[in-house]
Structure 1
Amino acid sequence: MEWRGRRGSRNIEDRRRMGGGGRGAGIGGAGVIVVLLLGWFLGVDVTPLLQDQGGMSSDAPRDLTAEDRAMGEFVSVTLADTEEVWAALFKDQLGETYRPATLVLFKGYTQSGCGGASEATGPFYCPSDRKVYLDTGFFTVLEQRMGAGGDFAAAYVVAHEVGHHVQNELGILEQTTRLRQQVDQVQGNEISVRVELMADCLAGVWAHEAAARFGSIQRGDIEEAMNAAARIGDDSLQREAGRRPVPDSFTHGTSEQRMRWFLTGQTTGEIAACDTFGATRL
């Protein structure tokens, strides 16, 4: 992905220099990864599990490494691309005005409008404050522990979370949140899967437009995104955590579903193609 030297977003809130606790040595490396994976696919904050093992420490201000600064620039450029793409698509395909999200960068732990945000929650979007929360350490885990490296794999993660903001702008998140409150957990999980697969598809729509508008997509980029989608499917995450996949517990979709819906958006470039709630097959 061609991103260096390009325009960054003004809607970045960088909290990485703020103290907020880091991971200590209480849980061994493999144990930490299992805990984090459980948190990511269950959609819960497992910070207390790390704290119980002496895993969170230090409120001292942080210094940013060269890698931190580079990743911050990369995320800023990716966010700027989403802003330009979605502003155009809202106008052209929906006749609406797009209001961009703010992206919060943090290290270790911070507060969001939806509660605590930590490395254990993974990247997420909070509709209450219209912000995406991202500990860029997730990208290191994605590459080194889960085999989904590459800058476009990281861009896919950002685009997916911005996809949730698009859903919020369209009123979809409010409707699905209300609906989940009226059904049992299994049905609620099914609704969550449709929400997440739609965000994957919207990330694909962004990829389609980014290629056309900026020429920033390079050979192999789409494959990187597809690989990342496969690695963070519910079935793959459950196997990675040493569990047998249980479909009723899925909240984001299988690896196959996540890849297919991303590709649907990427090949069509149409918001309407991402209607997972109207789809007969997920």
Structure 2
Amino acid sequence: MGSETMLVLRKLVEDRLALVGLLIVLLLIASALFAPWLATHPDAVTEFNPAHRLRPPGGEYLLGTDRLGGDIFSRLLYGARVTIVIALIAVGAAVLIGVPLGLVAGFSDGALSTAIMRLTDIFLAVPQIILAIAIAQTLGPSLPNVILALSATFWPWFTRLVYAETRSVRNETFIEATVALGASPARVVWLHVLPNIISPIIVRITLGLGFTILTAAALGFLGLGAPPPTPEWGRTIAESREYLPDAWWYAAAPGIAIFLVVIGFNMLGDGLRDVLDPRMRRAGRPRD
């Protein structure tokens, strides 16, 4: 297992785009973990200085200040924590719901499999952002409600993916041999099917983290995210609209942060797909 992990890491490092994506993701994690030490104004989340409102970048304020005089750089760092919490919990919950349902539907036949996939199709028929907005609007703006809305709209993607992969694997010779030896369906699924389809699940998780961050920012921009004074990036952009274009830095800082984080997860996901699933290489990439 150790040698396989090292091989994956080596191939990932050799992919320049994937390496850039990995560095961006690591930078996001480091910013969240060390925010109290990296922030130039550690109290910027709860304390403001109206006398210094809308100051441009430079000097005491690296990225300028917002409408209440809060240091944008410091709030951006603390906002990384909110971003990571939303993405990890929402995608984690989607995995816990979608993967077991996909395994059950893919390995079995009959009414249960059909019911699971028809329910999945109903959720997939509605654009995720529209469904997330509807759920968040119904429940009200708060961090837990944002996470719930994102989890409820993202699990069908895992169910559909796992269903297709399970259907492909269950007819393999080693699966048929395991069943013939008397192994229970649960044992076959968890010990033989799941380990053989884990690669596309990992890729989907990586890509899903980026998309979830983007969707969460959209909900925050619409006023459906975490309420103030939580330093949520999407809400910060929404608050900056009335001060554009004069206070351009107000929207630019969180906007660039969202762009970099989403593209970082996408590049990392593409790199993992190339390494873990050679059947789905990026167009134009030579095969080994």
Q: Does 1 or 2 have the higher relative contact order (CA < 8 Å, sep 6+)?
A: 2
Structure of greater Rg: 2
Higher normalized strand content (fraction of residues): 1
Higher normalized helix content (fraction of residues): 2
Q: Same fold (TM over 0.5)?
A: no
| Range class of TM-score, shorter chain | under 0.3
